[in-house]
């Protein structure tokens, strides 16, 4: 029985018990059950023997997960569903890193303080943890390291989306604003040998840059995009604007507009909220609010945001990934 076909009281109970399902899926991944099952059907006793679990308890556990659509049970025979395959670490596009982050204490504590965000419109993370996320992750590498690994994985996906969907052949200088350790910029420069690059982020972030193979064409610059941005003819803002409320996002865009060479372009990569049902977009919209006071935006909201910085969006380019490329220039 699917969740949508459950009686309303059962649907309501599943919402109330959502925390238990998150922890259950996390344990499911930690035990390595998705990789044990792969595309096969196995008995719950065999699974328990292979992953070192108590057989009867594991059966009851998998029975719970079957109610959320992660596995299917036929008696005591178990197999992954199409949804459950996204928890296989050996398959591309899996969401195990997302899941890992969602179970960490600082993420959980931020969401435990959702009511603070709802009442104030401010980020719950700082209220709960006493630090902004970036500073907290710097001081707590046990959380910062996996977060940076997750961001690198996203950069790999987004770099390919940029290469596949945008022509950088006219570019002379490409600046990746808030570009982390440089994976996206390195990918672009590898494909476009005529271009030079600037990796721009906080000083302690660019100190860990990896620009092997393109270092002779790329400068690293430490700074703060709320103060200024290096000049370039293409400025990239990948997963930057959704971190911030409208006032701060406009501040970033104005600094980017001031740094554009004549005829230059700003390329932002972000989710675009549509009227279609999009649980991922709606979740990240509130997740950005809880973590940073930011938000995901619609096309209309993006257009209004850029206009406040005297910029006009010339194209929204679909990429086949959750993110869209927004091409903008000076109005």
Q: Which of 105, 106, 109 is nearest to 136 (CA)?
A: 106
Judged by DSSP in three states, 125 sits in: helix
Judged by DSSP in three states, 62 sits in: helix
Which residue among the candidates 126, 181, 242, 287 is catalytic per the annotation? 242
Pick the CATH number of 148-330 from 3.40.50.150, 3.90.1300.10, 3.60.15.10, 3.50.50.60: 3.40.50.150
- pLDDT for 221: 97
- pLDDT for 47: 97
Tokens of 199: 């990796």
C-alpha distance across the termini of the chain, in Å: 54
Mean pLDDT per 10-residue section of the chain, whose length is 331 residues: 70 89 96 96 97 96 94 97 95 90 93 97 96 89 85 78 91 94 92 96 89 94 96 96 96 98 96 83 93 95 97 94 92 88
Does an H or E element contain 315, and which? strand 311-318
The angle, 0 to 180 degrees and rounded to 10, between the axes of the packed helices 246-259 and 299-308 is: 60
Domain boundaries, the chain: 3-89, 148-330
As a CATH number, domain 3-89 is: 1.10.10.10
Whole-prediction pTM: 0.88
- pLDDT for 145: 84
**Dist CA 323 CA 120 (whole Å):** 28
242 is catalytic: yes
Q: Tell me the β-bridge partners of 237.
A: 268
């Amino acid at each position: 029985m699917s969740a949508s076909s459950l009686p309303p009281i059962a649907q309501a109970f599943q919402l109330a018990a959502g925390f238990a399902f998150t922890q259950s899926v996390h344990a499911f991944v930690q035990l390595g059950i998705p990789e044990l099952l792969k595309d096969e059907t196995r008995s719950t006793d065999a699974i328990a023997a292979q992953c070192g679990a108590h057989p009867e308890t594991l059966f009851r556990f998998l029975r719970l997960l079957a109610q959320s659509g992660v596995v299917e049970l036929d008696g005591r025979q178990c197999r992954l569903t199409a949804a459950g395959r996204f928890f296989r670490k050996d398959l591309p596009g899996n969401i195990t890193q997302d899941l890992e982050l969602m179970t960490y204490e600082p993420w959980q504590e931020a969401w435990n303080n959702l009511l603070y965000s709802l009442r104030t419109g401010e980020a719950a993370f700082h209220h709960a943890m006493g630090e902004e996320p970036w500073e907290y992750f710097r001081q707590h590498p046990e959380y910062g390291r996996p977060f940076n690994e997750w961001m690198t994985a996203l950069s790999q996906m987004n770099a390919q989306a940029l290469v596949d969907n945008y022509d950088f052949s006219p570019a002379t200088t490409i600046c990746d604003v808030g570009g982390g350790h440089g994976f996206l910029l390195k990918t672009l420069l590898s494909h476009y040998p005529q271009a030079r690059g600037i990796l721009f982020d906080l000083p302690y972030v660019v100190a860990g840059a990896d620009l092997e193979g393109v270092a002779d064409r790329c400068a690293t610059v430490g700074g703060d995009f709320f103060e200024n941005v290096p000049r370039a003819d293409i400025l990239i803002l990948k997963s930057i604007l959704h971190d911030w409320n409208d006032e701060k996002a406009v501040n970033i865009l104005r600094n980017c507009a001031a740094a554009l060479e004549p005829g230059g372009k700003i390329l932002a990569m972000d989710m675009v909220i549509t009227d279609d049902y999009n649980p991922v977009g709606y979740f990240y919209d509130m997740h950005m609010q809880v973590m940073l006071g930011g938000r995901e935006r619609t096309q209309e909201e993006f257009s209004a945001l850029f206009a406040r910085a005297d910029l006009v969006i010339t194209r929204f380019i679909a990429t086949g990934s959750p993110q869209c490329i927004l091409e903008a220039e000076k109005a």
